[in-house]
Amino acid sequence: MAEQDRPQIYLLTPPEFDLGSFPAQLDRVLQGVPVACLRLSLATRDEDRLIRATDAVREVAHSADVAMVIDTHVVLAERLGLDGVHLPDGARSVRAARKTLGADAIVGAFCGQSRHDGMNAGEAGADYVAFGPVAGALGDGALAERDLFAWWSEMIEVPVVAEGGLTPEAVRALAPVTDFIAVGEEIWRTDDPAAALRALVDAMG
């Protein structure tokens, strides 16, 4: 597969990380493989923690010319001057987020395995729709099948993201039918995240 035809990498932070050491680790990853977007995807709801984490990684992302969005928190995205927000509840919050953040912000929506929810999110103004998980036993065990991505890529113009449980095999299968591969825990739980991400990119063919 030609490099320009490959999906772009959409990188997720770990749900928890050390503010002192993670920025350097993130920088190594961003230097190794082109990344289109970084999502701050922390499990915490503590506002102070989220703000400090944003400050810790934003400089790294922007110095690498990588857009940065935050999971869920529309108000923080606006207040902290981020590039946008990722909404985990499908189409429900897209219009409100777009109204708050404006036309130029990135607004993405995770829609599980629901083609219908994805279409609603696109119609509401989402810049991308994410489906997943694509492999593994995450959540309730339901998977976003390759057929969903293939149909979406053929029929819908809104970019599509594959997210959750990514393996080299899944990446290889999905590369021809998805615009972005969202990678997070798959690499951060390894000893060498940069090498792990490179292996997933190489699996695209």
Distance CA 35, CA 81 (A): 20
Query: With pLDDT > 70 as the criterion, what percentage of the chain qualifies?
Result: 97
pLDDT value for 5: 80
| Residue-level pLDDT at 85 | 98
Record: fold of 10-186: TIM Barrel (3.20.20)
Q: Which residues contact 111 (CB under 8 A, 6 or more apart)?
A: 90, 91, 117, 118, 121, 129, 130, 131
Q: What pLDDT score does 136 carry?
A: 76
Over the chain, what is the mean pLDDT? 95
Domain ranges of the chain: 10-186
List C-alpha distances in Å: 39 to 78, 157, 193.
Answer: 15, 22, 16
Q: Are residues 126 and 156 in contact, defined by beta-carbon separation less than 8 angstroms?
A: no
Distance of alpha carbon 56 from alpha carbon 74, whole angstroms: 19
Residue with the two structure tokens 């999110």: 121
pLDDT in tens, 3-57: 558 999 999 999 999 999 999 999 999 999 999 999 999 999 999 999 999 999 9
pLDDT at 139: 66
Q: Can you give the pLDDT at residue 3?
A: 56
- For residue 44, the one-letter residue type is T
Output the pTM of the full model: 0.95
DSSP string of 39-93?
EE--S---HHHHHHHHHHHHHHHHHTT-EEEEES-HHHHHHTT-SEEEESSTTTT
Least confident of 102-116, 131-145, 164-178, 190-204: 131-145
Classify burial at 99, counting beta carbons within 10 Å of its beta carbon; exposed 0-12, middle 13-18, buried 19 or more.
Answer: exposed
Q: In this predicted model, what pLDDT tens digit does every residue of 67-113 receive, in sequence order?
A: 999 999 999 999 999 999 999 999 999 999 999 999 999 999 999 99
* Amino acid present at 168: P
Assess whether pLDDT exceeds 60 at residue 1. Answer: no
